[in-house]
Structure 1
Amino acid sequence: MLEFWLIPAVMMLVIVGLFPPIAGYIVLVERKVLADMQVRLGPMRVGPHGLLQPLADALKLLLKEDIIPREADKGIFYVAPIVSMFTAFVAFGVVPFSERFRIADVNVGLLVISALGSVGILGIVLGGWSSNSHYPLLGALRSSAQLVSYELAMGLGLVCGVMSAGTLSMVQIVRNQQAQGLWFVFDNWGAMAPAFVIFFIAAVAETNRSPFDLPEAESELIAGYFTEYSAMKLGLFMFSEFIQIAVVGALYATLVLVGSNLPFMTDAGFSLPGGPEIALSQAVRVPLQLVTFLGKVALLCVIQIQIRWTLPRFRYDQMLGLSWKMLLPLSLANLAVTVVWMWLAGGGQ
């Protein structure tokens, strides 16, 4: 009984205590990756190789003057960044970091993460509207249009994954992939692959990052929805954006990359084809799963960072056209193909 409450409590403390610094270091990784792509060094002055730069940035945000526009709706102006930060944190409550390290095994975990992503956009909308300024309001309106456009395609991609998994539980999805011995992206003779590609594109769009950063669009809207924000409230918006990158990576790693498991991993250890089974104790298995999961999430975060600094920003009509004219029809067609394929595989039942 003690273990039942102890592990979720420890995980909650870990998430609350470690994820703000992790978000800060994701910023550092992004700056380093960008510098490497442009043959530069990036931050190097604060600490060895710039490793203390996130601490300096956090200190700067804490010490900066907190300015609030005179005509702003002060209550909503304060609440907006908290909404974005809170929803990004809570999403990790249903993510299985390993077999033993998780907060809750919710039987509708995928639905919870999808719902929290939709609610998180409200922080951007409220922040832009409460600023009582033209540029933030335009950024908020763009954010709402982007949410409606890409939420449908992302949802249909998730439906295909749920059909293959047979469950909405994040923990059970990992177990089903392990028991099946086949990643869902290769299921139905590869018919699931387009669904997960569409889902990844739509999920990246949900994070409001380039090439989908229309709500921010500094070349058009100064800074978009957070133009009037400063100090730590601006930092909360920044932290929530980078935590959402990790949420997308964790969700995609769970759905497509078997979560915390490695190839040929079983409940007892490793079972290599045609070879002996290698047993692993819990003292080795649990840390190995945790490191494996975090490595997969880190890889997916780096891919999202490279996408941001490789592709130019879409125009507003291009952003909407990509969703309504391409991703949505493709996701509907892929859903129909998946349904027919699974119906035929089930003997027409």
Structure 2
Amino acid sequence: MNISLNITKTITELLSGFMPESAANIGAMVTIALIYLAIFAVAGLYLVLLERKVAAWFQLRLGPNRVGPWGLLQTMADALKLVSKELTGTVKADKFLYNLAPYFVIVSSLMALSVFPFTQEFQAFDINIGLFFLIAISSIGVIGILLGGWASNNKFALIGAMRSGVQTISYELSVGLSLLTMVLLTGTLQLSEIIEVQKNGWLIVQGHIPAVIAFMIYMIAGTAETNRAPFDMVEAESELGAGFHTEYSGMKFAYFFLAEFINMFIIAAIATTVFFGGWLSPFGITESIPWLGVFWFIGKTFMLVFLMMWFRWTFPRLRVDQLLTLEWKYLLPLNLLNIVLMALIVWLGFTIQL
């Protein structure tokens, strides 16, 4: 069942009025790509600004406050600086893989954004395996990190890349299993249907304690998968310089940097969709005023992004052994037990309908 109307269909029908169907389909794809590239760029830049403001707030500083009103144009100035910087690299680097690596992380993040239902109408692709697609596509980014670290021909970059591979593969299990716990409750992988189920109450409420546990595990594992502190062993400055992107400069460095923040947005957006009703408001007003849904979706997502930033400026960095112990000895067994508990709740019909 395809519940949400997506913008791809709307744009295709609009273009079909004055061009052949095949050309209209291609035109719609290009238009959608440009729209999402714009969202990607703006969201990435202002998430960086938010990070710096949050860091300043936690450390009793002012943060960026010179470029533009209240420092709002600071990240724009930083982007212009990075665009103008010389692209350097090591002489013995594998040039092809070195140049290819940043595009893996950018493209995987961009593809993940395309399936989110920002409102009932604003969704590029409403596929029936939406949640599975997100888990699969978000795993591709680590290939870019591994390639970048290995192709740089730098020992610090290689160590960072290897740590990233171990960390991502480990914590992907907890991310996937926590989402699978909620799939048991909804009975579908389609994101629009997951939101439809929540019209009677957000899943974090419907699912009782197992849903709360799944959310907590998901946020911990999601923070680790995006290489954010306190799980930032991949680019531990005190040990590895900049880690896997030590040898990158200019826009290639900016691609890795932006991808980290977009991945943080993606992790928070998945949590918003699966646990907190997506674009649905808790008061039912998005039913009568549909365009308000985008504000609810963005608002909930940024609250979770703020939570992830709170983690960074509160907890100290873990050691590598602590990082892996947390996943394999604690989160994974707890996740497996939680799935069984959720299955029992669904089987016995104990879900809460508001």
Question: Structure 1 length as normaliser, TM-score?
Answer: 0.90
Cα distance in 1 for residues equivalent to 2:10 and 2:169 = 42
| Contiguous gaps of at least 5 residues in structure 1 | 270-279
Give the letter aligned to residue 49 of structure 2. Answer: L
Counterpart among 117, 126, 133 of residue 96 in structure 1: 117
* Gapped regions of structure 2 (runs ≥ 5): 1-7, 15-27
Choose from 129, 134, 137 the match for 2:158.
137
User: Match for residue 54 of structure 1?
Assistant: 75
Structure-2 residue corresponding to 1:244? 263
Matched, 1:221 2:225: no
Query: Which residue of structure 2 aligns with residue 309 of structure 1?
Result: 313
What fraction of aligned residue pairs are identical, expressed as a percent?
Answer: 42
**Counterparts of 1:2 and 1:305, CA distance in 2:** 36
The amino acid of 2:117's aligned partner reads: P
What is the aligned counterpart of 2:322 among 318, 326, 336?
A: 318
| Partner of residue 187, structure 1 | 206
Q: State the Cα RMSD in Å.
A: 1.7
Query: How far did 1:126 drift?
Result: 0.7
Q: Which residue of 2 aligns with 1:253?
A: 272
Counterpart of 2:37?
A: 16
Runs of 4+ in 1 over 6 A off after TM superposition: none
Q: Distance in 1 between matches of 2:273 and 2:141?
A: 21
Correspondence for 1:33: 54
Which has the higher mean CA deviation after the structures are superposed, 8-17 or 241-250? 8-17
What is the aligned counterpart of 1:233 among 229, 252, 266? 252
- After superposition, where does 1:272-287 map in structure 2 within 5 Å? 280=288, 285-287=289-291
Question: Which residue of structure 1 aligns with residue 178 of structure 2?
Answer: 157
SS at match of 1:192: helix
**Structure 2 counterpart of 1:5, from 12, 16, 32:** 12
CA offset digits 1:295-326 (Å, max 9, x no partner) = 11111111111111111110000000000011
SS of corresponding position for 2:348: helix
When residues 189 and 36 of structure 1 are mapped into structure 2, their CA distance, relative to the original with a 3 A threshold, is closer
Within 1, Cα distance between the matches of 2:313 and 2:57? 11
Following TM superposition, by how much is the alpha carbon of 1:120 offset from its aligned partner in structure 2, in angstroms? 0.8
Structure 1 match to 2:4: none
SS of the residue corresponding to residue 215 of structure 1 reads helix
Mapped partners of 2:193, 2:70: distance in 1: 41
Task: For 1:241 and 1:293, locate their aligned partners in 2 and report how far apart those are by CA, in whole Å.
Answer: 20
1:288 corresponds in structure 2 to: 292
TM-score (norm 2): 0.89
> 1:15 touches 1:89 (CA, 8 Å); kept in 2?
yes
CA deviation after TM superposition for structure 1 residue 142, in Å: 0.3
Cα distance in 2, alignment partners of residues 322 and 340 from structure 1: 26
Alignment of 1:198-213 (within 5 A): 198-213=217-232
